[in-house]
Chain A
Amino acid sequence: MKYILMMSGTQTGVAGYQTWSQSDRDKHMQALGAVVKELVKTGEFVATQPLAEPKEAKVVRGEKNGLPVTDGVFPESKEFLLGYWIVDVTTPERAYAIAAQISAAPGPGGIPTNMPIEVRQFMESRTAPR
């Protein structure tokens, strides 16, 4: 069963990350990299992807004529997806354990960020073309 593990944050949170020292950021990324390496070894890795900054986000709606209407203004409380991991595991508990590892990645001063990671299962019937 496939799960997506989602790391989200507000624009304020992203601005906070940008004030971390380079060394703290490196240690954070190395810890996340180690999680991925292990997932590759166990065969549970499907994909991971960081997203560009929230300031580049747009919300799009289709007008009556089918043309896109874009909006880039968001409430401060909006949570933006910052990055995700897709894993293929045999139990939900295993997905939670991987999410806990990601949550434990170190922040400033090596203290775990303890960021909440949202864990969601993919639908069994996919709409993707085969």
Chain B
Amino acid sequence: MKYILMMNTMRAGAGVPAWPKADLQAHIGFMHNVNRDLHEAGEWVSAEGLSFPDQARLVQTGKDGAPVTDGVFPESKEFLAGFWIVDVDSPERAYAIAARISTAPGPGGKPLNMPIEVRPIMSAPPQEML
């Protein structure tokens, strides 16, 4: 069964580039290890990091079908910072992987204990969507 593990951040929490370089490298190294272990366990499907929230746009359709874009968001909005898709045998395994990701080190090497949202995804898109 497939799960998506989502790392969300408030805009205020998006200051990762301000970390000391060594802390940033430790954080990225930790994530590399997670991805490598998932790959070796055959549980890795995909993982992506997203660009920062200042580049996010909300898009709706205008009357003529042309896109209308908006880049202003409420302060409380959660932004997706990155995600992993894993293929595991049980929800408990998905939660265990999320718990590991949650403890990725932040400034000073302290675990961030970030909340990771875990959601089951369908194994294939519905037939009518293909």
A residues apposed to B, CB below 8 Å: 2, 4-6, 26, 29-30, 32-33, 36-37, 47-52, 56-63, 66-71, 77-81, 92-93, 96-97, 99-101, 103-104, 112, 114-123, 125-129
Within the assembled complex, what's the spacing in Å between the Cα atoms of A114 and B102? Answer: 35
Within the assembled complex, what's the spacing in Å between the Cα atoms of A38 and B32? Answer: 35
The secondary structure that dominates the B interface is mixed
Within the assembled complex, what's the spacing in Å between the Cα atoms of A117 and B67? Answer: 10
B128 in contact (CB, < 8 A): yes
B60 in contact (CB, < 8 A): yes
Given contacts A61-B102, A66-B100, A104-B61, is CB(A50)–CB(B118) below 8 Å?
no
CB <8 Å contact, A122 and B48: yes
Q: Shortest beta-carbon distance, B63 to chain A, in Å?
A: 10
B18 in contact (CB, < 8 A): no
CB <8 Å contact, A49 and B121: yes
Q: Which residue of chain A has the shortest Cβ distance to B32 in the bound complex?
A: A127
Between A and B, 26 residue pairs with Cβ closer than 8 Å are A4-B48, A29-B126, A33-B128, A37-B130, A60-B95, A60-B99, A60-B102, A60-B118, A62-B98, A62-B111, A81-B119, A93-B67, A96-B59, A97-B66, A100-B60, A100-B66, A114-B60, A116-B60, A117-B60, A118-B57, A119-B69, A120-B51, A121-B50, A123-B50, A127-B47, A129-B32
Within the assembled complex, what's the spacing in Å between the Cα atoms of A69 and B98? Answer: 10
Nearest 8 CB-CB pairs, A to B?
A68-B99, A100-B67, A99-B59, A60-B98, A62-B102, A62-B103, A62-B99, A104-B61
Set of chain A residues within 8 Å of B25, measured between Cβ atoms: none
